Amino acid sequence: MLITAAAAATPAASNPARVVSLNLCTDEYLLLTARQHQIASISRLGANPLETPMAARARGLATNNGRLSDVLAAQPDLVLTMGHDPQGAALVARLGIRLVALPYPSRPADVVAQMRQIAGLVGNVPAGEAFARDVAALTASAPPPGPGLMIGGGGLAPGQGGLAAGWLRLAGIKQLQGGQINLERLLAAPPPIMIRNVYRPGQISLPQAWSQHPALRRLQSRQVEADGRAFLCGGAAMPAEIARLKKALG
């Protein structure tokens, strides 16, 4: 049976005993809500400390390659993923497996709703409510937003109306622009605050080379580093990251 996002908002009659996640973002939701004995496997990314700050929670768990065909032998009673997969949906419908394919969230409130949804599905409603309280506390204590700019590898900045910008507002940052940032213009008119979204800091690549340009270090901006692993999904790991950024910006 295929469960749509709307239908999945209602907790199952009995708690699932073998839950599988195929996506890093649903891995993180599951790691925060499910009891370890319920988790049949998560994706390999969810157990990789280079990809998620929540990897320690995955210690001892089985992992999968993110493909539905890889987990069918485990006979899961609930499969979690993110995005639309018509072929996968048709396959699990034939096999009688419950699939929840979440849409990609576009604002922090969407993340809260999804966390509550997954918590309800695995029979741990209090975990979803605890997450909602954490986000509500961040919202209530958010300072008035001031202008700033988050930049990631290759000079790419999250959009002003997107999920990352929504989280940044809770840290007191109003994202000045999104898209590809021109290095020369940035040097000529630096933002008051620049948040460097650091992902895989030891990796040698062209995107990393852009963000590590010596001229950026000399910008007349207040510079703070963000954990790019948390912003990769912008989901379950974000309350802790926003609290850390608020303290750093203090």
Give the tens place of pLDDT for each residue, 38-52: 999 999 999 999 999
Inform me whether the pLDDT recorded for 89 exceeds 80: no
Element (H, E) at 210: helix 206-211
Average the pLDDT over 133-140 and give the result. 98
Across 121-130, 178-187, 194-203, the highest mean pLDDT is recorded for: 121-130
Phi, psi of 237 (to 5 degrees): -85, 0
Q: Is 104 helix (H, G, I), strand (E, B) or coil?
A: coil
Per the listing, tokens 């809770």 go with 170
Average the pLDDT over 186-211 and give the result. 78
CB count within 10 Å of CB 86 equals 8
For residue 142 the two structure tokens come to: 């958010």
Inform me whether the pLDDT recorded for 36 exceeds 60: yes
Inform me whether the pLDDT recorded for 2 exceeds 80: no
Q: Is 73 helix (H, G, I), strand (E, B) or coil?
A: helix
Higher pLDDT, 211 or 151: 151
CA 143/CA 17 separation, integer angstroms: 42
Inform me whether the pLDDT recorded for 5 exceeds 60: no
Q: Is 92 helix (H, G, I), strand (E, B) or coil?
A: helix
Do 92 and 79 meet the contact criterion of CB atoms below 8 Å apart? yes
Q: What pLDDT is stored for residue 124 in this prediction? A: 97
Split at pLDDT 50, 70, 90, the class of 155 is confident
Split at pLDDT 50, 70, 90, the class of 93 is confident
Q: Please, what is the average pLDDT of the chain? A: 88
CA distances from 51 to 24, 44, 57, 230, 242 (A): 8, 10, 13, 8, 18
Chain centroid to Cα 12, Å, comes to 24
Do 178 and 164 meet the contact criterion of CB atoms below 8 Å apart? no
Inform me whether the pLDDT recorded for 86 exceeds 80: no
Inform me whether the pLDDT recorded for 130 exceeds 90: yes
